[in-house]
């Protein structure tokens, strides 16, 4: 077995071992971890595909899902996305990616969430005005392609697919590492933390299949909202696969995700690239069961839909995600590559 294959196998074993830990023990901690915004997906392409993006990770939002994926970005890139979430919550994700030598990339990102105005009540449920809250994470990422692998997955003009809709150069191994500073403000209280993300993407020799694993939010809280104790971070383990069908211009993906504070859930996505520069996307995630309320809207929970437009150096993405009776989320993203 080559050294590269050993790395891939080892990371997969570690991830599967964590995924098979005691689910009941994890479930007992649901909702008790800090910085829940770190679990909210960013961008628009990945959410439209049900969040099944660990193996693909081929746009700027890879900084969130799998940092190794940014090696597939040609040249430099800048992106911005906006999430109109439920209950008046809004979020944004800004990123910049640049070459670092011949086979490495550097990435910088800001992940921000604003919770808007929240009603303040006393112990007798009497309204005492309102307050606000927000979260922000600042991150720096470095990713490397393994020596001997293809330069990137794009042609000289930044197009990701050839004339037949087949992705270019899916083969090769990439590793990624992210360090981030996390800050939370809630009324007059605040807290902060440090964390790292790790990722690996390995493209098989068929040039149509890509595997990925990542571990996110591994770190510790430096200062808590409470003086009595410090909270754990919402670590997440992911493993996924992306595959370009040979018989059709369709990319399929699937992920298994293990949040440390909840059960394992599965996600799957489709990306139809037949009508380039237009892409049509759809996905499903079993985490949708958490949004069901025994109403006639329950059938929509877990589903997602979206579109993408690739115009040489500009990419536009949109995603719509229904949450049954809770509401729905609209996401838009734009990126420029040069």
The string of pLDDT tens digits covering residues 186-221 is: 877 889 999 999 999 998 877 789 999 999 999 999
pLDDT band (50, 70, 90) for residue 171: low
- HSE, side-chain direction, 13 A CA sphere, residue 286: 11
Contact in structure between 33 and 260 (CB atoms under 8 Å): yes
Distances (CA, A) of 40 to 109, 207, 220: 15, 31, 19
pLDDT band (50, 70, 90) for residue 16: low
What is the model's pLDDT at position 167? 47
Maximum separation of any 2 CA atoms in the chain, in Å: 67
Span 243-252, pLDDT tens digits:
999 888 999 9
| Strand, coil or helix: 335 | strand
Q: What is the DSSP string of 82-124?
A: EEE-GGG-EEEEEEEEEE-SSSEEEEEEEEEEEEEEEEEE-TT
What is the model's pLDDT at position 147? 66
Mean pLDDT for 126-148 is 83
Structural domains of the chain, count: 1
Span 27-76, pLDDT tens digits:
555 557 889 999 999 999 999 999 999 999 999 999 999 999 999 888 89
Could you tell me where the DSSP H helices lie in the chain? 3-19, 23-27, 45-48, 62-65
What is the model's pLDDT at position 21? 44
Range of the domain at 191: 3-337
When the pLDDT of each residue in the chain is averaged and rounded to a whole number, the result is 83
Query: Residue 51 sits in a domain of what CATH number?
Result: 2.40.160.40
10-24, 45-59, 113-127, 243-257: least confident range: 10-24
């Amino acid at each position: 077995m080559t050294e590269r294959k050993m790395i891939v196998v080892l990371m997969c074993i570690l991830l599967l071992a964590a995924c098979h830990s005691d689910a009941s023990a994890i479930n007992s901690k649901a909702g008790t971890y800090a910085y829940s915004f770190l679990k909210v997906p960013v961008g628009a392409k990945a959410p439209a595909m049900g969040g099944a993006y660990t193996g693909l990770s081929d746009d700027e939002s890879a900084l969130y899902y799998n940092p190794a994926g940014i090696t597939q970005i040609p040249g430099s890139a800048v992106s911005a996305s906006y999430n109109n979430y439920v209950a008046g919550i809004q979020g944004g994700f800004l990123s910049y990616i640049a070459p670092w030598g011949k086979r490495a990339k550097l990435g910088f990102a800001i992940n921000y969430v604003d919770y808007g105005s929240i009603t303040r009540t006393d112990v007798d449920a009497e309204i005492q005005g309102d307050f606000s809250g927000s979260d922000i994470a600042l991150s720096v990422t470095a990713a490397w392609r393994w020596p001997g692998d293809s330069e990137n997955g794009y042609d000289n003009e930044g197009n990701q697919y050839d004339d037949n809709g087949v992705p270019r150069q899916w083969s090769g191994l990439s590793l990624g590492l992210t360090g981030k500073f996390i800050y939370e403000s809630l009324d007059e209280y605040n807290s902060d933390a440090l964390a790292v993300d790790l990722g690996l993407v390995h493209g098989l020799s068929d040039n149509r299949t890509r595997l990925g694993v990542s571990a996110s939010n591994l770190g510790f809280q430096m200062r808590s909202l409470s003086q009595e104790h410090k909270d754990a971070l919402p670590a997440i383990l992911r493993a996924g696969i992306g595959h370009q069908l040979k018989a059709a211009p369709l990319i399929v993906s699937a992920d298994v995700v293990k949040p440390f504070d909840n059960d394992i859930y599965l996600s799957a996505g489709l990306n139809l690239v037949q009508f380039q520069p237009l892409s049509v996307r759809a996905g499903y995630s079993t985490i949708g069961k958490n949004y069901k309320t025994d109403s006639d809207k329950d059938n929509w929970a877990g589903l997602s839909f979206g579109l993408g437009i690739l115009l040489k150096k500009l990419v536009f993405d949109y995603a719509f995600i229904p949450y049954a009776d809770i509401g729905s989320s609209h996401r838009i993203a734009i990126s420029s590559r040069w």
